[in-house]
Amino acid sequence: AQKITQTQPGMFVQEKEAVTLDCTYDTSDPSYGLFWYKQPSSGEMIFLIYQGSYDQQNATEGRYSLNFQKARKSANLVISASQLGDSAMYFCAMREGDNAGNMLTFGGGTRLMVKP
Amino acid sequence: NAGVTQTPKFQVLKTGQSMTLQCAQDMNHNSMYWYRQDPGMGLRLIYYSASEGTTDKGEVPNGYNVSRLNKREFSLRLESAAPSQTSVYFCASSVWLANTGELFFGEGSRLTVL
């Protein structure tokens, strides 16, 4: 079974609007961390936001927020006020357990395209 | 402000040739990783090194070897390249068991095996 599933291969959003990128995960470990990375066309991987499984509040970083629904095992990324520079691939990733270091399992990604 | 540096950035090999991808980080991180990214897919872990002197297999280790030369450097070797190893390779580093677990990535190395 896939540990990280991103069901939206591609999405369009109008500039200045908000967009939600979906991510569901599968783990039986009570301790885990969820990450979102951005990969622009230039290819580098840029860390956006992190949510720990025990965190009580949803993580936020500027225009990025993580909608964490533990019972549903979902960790959707919300980007507010989209900008043209947000056009990129977005990857959800998970770290399982307390002794797994920072080894991450990645989903297949969602390509976001922001329309002017 | 180098962060994680990978060399080479591009390489074309013929089937059966060998090569080594070099990675160095200047952030004093104890953990380093090698991932591969195939077209249209997410990253998959090849090998990792939790600390200097240790290496372990990840999800897709077959056909690769690694060396943690020192705290800064972690190399990935393809002994006999195959077309299935055509991919973009990313090196990353982090502090082991950090609160956020953020991985810092290099810019990637694009490898084509003919």
Which tens digits make up the pLDDT trace of A19-32?
999 999 999 999 89
Q: Are B36 and B60 in contact (CB under 8 A)?
A: yes
Does any CB of chain A come closer than 8 Å to the CB of residue B99?
Answer: yes
Please check the confidence at residue A100 and state whether its pLDDT lies above 80.
no
- State residue A96's pLDDT score: 87
Q: Are A36 and A86 in contact (CB under 8 A)?
A: no
Joined tokens for residue B69: 């030369």
Joined tokens for residue A116: 């002017």
- State residue A99's pLDDT score: 66
Instruction: For residue A38, give Cα distances in angstroms to A105, A110, B46, B65, B105.
Output: 15, 10, 21, 28, 12
Confidence class for position B102, pLDDT limits 50, 70, 90: confident
User: Which residues touch A71 (CB under 8 Å, ≥6 apart)?
Assistant: none
* Chain A, nearest residue to B105 by Cα: A45
Å between B100 CA and nearest CA of chain A: 6
CA B69, CA B75: separation in Å to the nearest integer?
8
Please check the confidence at residue B101 and state whether its pLDDT lies above 80.
no
CA angle B18, B19, B21 (to 5 degrees): 155
> Bridge-partner residues for A83, per DSSP?
none
Rg value, chain B, Cα: 13
Which chain A residues have a beta carbon less than 8 Å from that of B42? 4, 91, 93, 106-109
Per-residue pLDDT tens for A49-95? 999 999 989 999 999 999 999 999 999 999 999 999 999 999 999 99
CA A96, CA A52: separation in Å to the nearest integer?
10
Please check the confidence at residue B46 and state whether its pLDDT lies above 90.
yes
